[in-house]
Amino acid sequence: MAWDVSLFKFSQRYRTLEEIPHDERLSDLGSLKEVQGAVTAVFPETDWTDPHWGIFDSVLGSIEFNVGTDDPVQSLGLHVRAGDAVVDGILLLCEQMDCQAIDVGDGSFLEQSDDPARGLQKWRAYRDQILTQGKTS
């Protein structure tokens, strides 16, 4: 269980998912090596032992970066288990890769949000509720 975020590069910037036309074609995020390099520049502790599944693990928490097997890379999936501080890194990664981040939970664009960590906070509250229920059962 994690807070899931997907990174995509569109032909233009969108504010909502509803704005994206059905014929939108994604642009590449870059080659596998370029995407790994961009992730590592923002999250230096990322382990790329599996070149398609980077694992960032630090005092901030963890993020699994699912790059997939396509090269060039079309999208990047993030599975986040961390505190709010990692959201700034995710936004920086989007800025450096010229892409947009979609909160898979509610379909919002992180960089368009007044509170980009809101989805992560909701996920943590849900996780904590499940863990608490498990202890009282």
How far is Cα 3 from Cα 103, in angstroms, rounded to an integer?
A: 8
DSSP-based three-state secondary structure for 62: strand
In this prediction, residue 126 carries a pLDDT of 86
Global pTM?
0.91
Tens of pLDDT, residue by residue over 108-122, are 999 999 999 999 989
Q: pLDDT tens, 70-100?
A: 999 999 999 999 999 999 999 999 999 999 9
- The pLDDT score that the predictor gives to residue 43 is 97
Range of the structural domain that residue 9 is part of: 3-136
| Interior angle at CA 35, CA 51 and CA 119, nearest 5 | 100
Mean pLDDT in residue range 7-26: 95
User: Residue 36 corresponds to which tokens in the numbers above?
Assistant: 């790994």
d(CA 137, CA 134): 5
What does the pLDDT look like over 35-72, one tens digit per residue? 999 999 999 999 999 999 999 999 999 999 999 999 99
For residue 80, the surrounding DSSP H or E stretch is strand 75-82
* Whether the bond into 72 is cis, omega within 30 of 0: yes
Instruction: Tell me which DSSP letter residue 34 carries.
Output: H
Residues pairing with 122 in the sheet: none
Tally of structural domains, the chain: 1
What distance in Å separates the CA atoms of residue 8 and residue 130, rounded to the nearest whole number? 31
Task: Output the domain CATH number for residue 120.
Answer: 3.30.1400
pLDDT classification of 134: cutoffs 50, 70, 90: low
pLDDT band at 136 (very low <50, low <70, confident <90, very high): low
